Structure 1
Amino acid sequence: MRDRSPVQVVLDDGVVLAGTFDRVGADYVELAEHPTDQPRRAEAVQGVRAVLLDAVALVRTAPPGLS
């Protein structure tokens, strides 16, 4: 979260989300969804999604170009 790196978030149902974490709460995260080969800028953000931590299976940093 601190270095604002693009990440991929794999949910327990197999859905893969890509973007940058905006907020981390006690039981959720907010992910600004954008292509991982672009920095988190307003024009690149396609939406912001709140995800319950219970639904997260894996978080990994996303190398540039990986969506």
Structure 2
Amino acid sequence: MDERTKSALLWGAVGVFAFLVLYQGYVLFGNDSVGFLPAFGVALVVGAGVAAAAYVAEIRLLGRGR
């Protein structure tokens, strides 16, 4: 696995965990829960979006010399 793919997958994992932490805080402050499976499904979609965005953005940022 090349470094770009590994980096994108790690950013996707960060997105999954960030969403789940925010969701847990939402429930902790007295709001209704939608259940574990729907929340985990949304977290996976968020993680996939973050991974895809990181994969595309990394090459664009490298191309600009940043």
User: TM-score per shorter chain, which class?
Assistant: under 0.3
Query: TM-score, length-normalised on structure 1?
Result: 0.22
Does 1 or 2 have the higher relative contact order (CA < 8 Å, sep 6+)? 2
Query: TM-score, length-normalised on structure 2?
Result: 0.22
Name the structure where helix makes up a greater proportion of residues: 2
Name the structure where strand makes up a greater proportion of residues: 1
